[in-house]
Amino acid sequence: MILNIVIIVLGVLVVVLGYTTINLLKKNEKMLEIIINQNSYIAEFSKQLEISDKRLQDVDSKGIFKADDEIGWIFDQIKVIQTNLSRFKVQ
């Protein structure tokens, strides 16, 4: 009698643990897919930052925008934004 109860309890325990393991595995796979997508996005964003930074430095080296006050101020603000964004580049 006791052996039957132990077998039933262990059977229920195996089913519950099996279900929770499969459930956690599915959640883990979803999170892994999200992480892969986010890494791709970050890598692409980093490339765009590098291209933008290089282009901004090329334009800035000519000194074209320093002559006009309004354009110069806006250009300086763009450089500040670019500098702040460049901190997030993937190394």
Average pLDDT per block of 10 residues along the chain, 91 residues long: 92 97 98 94 86 81 67 78 77 60
CA atoms within 13 A of residue 67's CA, in its CB half-sphere: 3
d(CA 51, CA 86): 11
What count of residues does the chain have? 91
pTM: 0.62
Scanning 1-91, the segments in alpha helix (DSSP H) are 2-62, 69-86
Q: For residue 63, is it left (φ>0), alpha (ψ between -120 and 50) or beta?
A: left
